[in-house]
Amino acid sequence: MSTRRSERDENRRVYGQNFLRDPKSLRRMVEVARVGREDLVFEVGAGEGVLTEVLAERARYVVTHEVDAHLARALEPKLRRWDNVELDFGDFLQVLPAAEPFKVVANIPYSITSAIVDWCLDARYLTSATLMTQLEYARKRSGWYGRWSQRTVETWPLFSWELCGKIPREHFRPIPKVDSGILHITRREKPLLRPRDLRDYEKLVALGFTGIGGSLRASLSKMYTPKRVAKAFDEVGLRQDTVVAFAHPDVWVELYRALNPSRR
């Protein structure tokens, strides 16, 4: 009996492919993304084209990317009936973002989640990204545990992060080891800070998350005087012993303004 993997099985292993088959979950993703007739949508990983066709029914135009040549060849005839779908044979991470407003909607490979999220955040005209990720990742990024990650906090002036549903692992084939979550990242119509403040704000967040001194207050006292930091904490209603991850992103923005009154 041969123990060699088939090309399909090997590609599933290499590319981390777990295909979402549940129609209700697929519709939920598209509803969260608020895909409409005016939207240009990028999809990461067309897979078997199930989500692609749901998007095609609602969007103005869909550009779907599939790095697995075996899947892409099989999918191409299926998608020919859609005149608003473009199938790209290639790596999504190497694709240039659209030069007009667009959305990303995708069931993404868990192994490259951070890289895809970074691509989305760096895309100038991205309006939102609705991504099927590991549930744990979505919870951490959306503050589900009452704790906030550095990536969420540093991008908060420009983007909101929200967990919009849990998808049981049994809804995928092959069945993964963990459940998934719908992570919705939305670009704010009006940023919480002015462009000139963003770099200094990111420096503040980076310093806070270093953990230098053992507390958020102690860390920020490396940039500002302890007295100034204590006053700013009082001003925004933050306890003096607050641990960095437990400061809500909105409070971080207020804290930046309190520490830099000339930037208000």
Looking at residue 149, what is its pLDDT?
Answer: 97
**Residue 41 gets which letter from DSSP?**
E
Per-residue pLDDT for 7 more than 90? no
From residue 216, alpha-carbon distances to 9, 150, 240 in Å are: 47, 13, 8
pLDDT classification of 20: cutoffs 50, 70, 90: confident
Residue 246 has a CB neighbour count (10 Å cut-off) of: 15
Measuring CA to CA, which residue among 58, 103, 56 is closest to residue 80?
A: 56
Cβ atoms of residues 83 and 61 within 8 Å: no
Looking at residue 208, what is its pLDDT?
Answer: 97
**Between 171 and 251, the higher pLDDT residue:** 251
Residue 233 has a CB neighbour count (10 Å cut-off) of: 22
How long a stretch of residues is the chain? 264
Cβ atoms of residues 162 and 207 within 8 Å: no
**Between 19 and 7, the higher pLDDT residue:** 19
- Please give the Cα distance from 224 to 51 (Å, whole number): 50
Measuring CA to CA, which residue among 69, 80, 31 is closest to residue 51?
A: 31
Task: Write the DSSP string, 44-66.
Answer: E--TTSHHHHHHHHHSSEEEEEE
Residue 124 has a CB neighbour count (10 Å cut-off) of: 9
The tens digit of pLDDT for each residue in 114-141 reads: 999 999 999 999 999 999 999 999 999 9
Looking at residue 175, what is its pLDDT?
Answer: 82
- Please give the Cα distance from 218 to 231 (Å, whole number): 13
Per-residue pLDDT for 85 more than 70? yes
Looking at residue 17, what is its pLDDT?
Answer: 56
Looking at residue 1, what is its pLDDT?
Answer: 45
Looking at residue 135, what is its pLDDT?
Answer: 96
Looking at residue 15, what is its pLDDT?
Answer: 39
- Please give the Cα distance from 29 to 198 (Å, whole number): 31
Mean pLDDT of 145-165: 97
Per-residue pLDDT for 5 more than 80? no
Looking at residue 158, what is its pLDDT?
Answer: 98
The tens digit of pLDDT for each residue in 55-83 reads: 999 999 999 999 998 889 999 999 999 99
- Please give the Cα distance from 34 to 263 (Å, whole number): 35
Looking at residue 213, what is its pLDDT?
Answer: 82
Secondary element (H or E) of residue 15: helix 7-15
Looking at residue 217, what is its pLDDT?
Answer: 95
Per-residue pLDDT for 2 more than 90? no
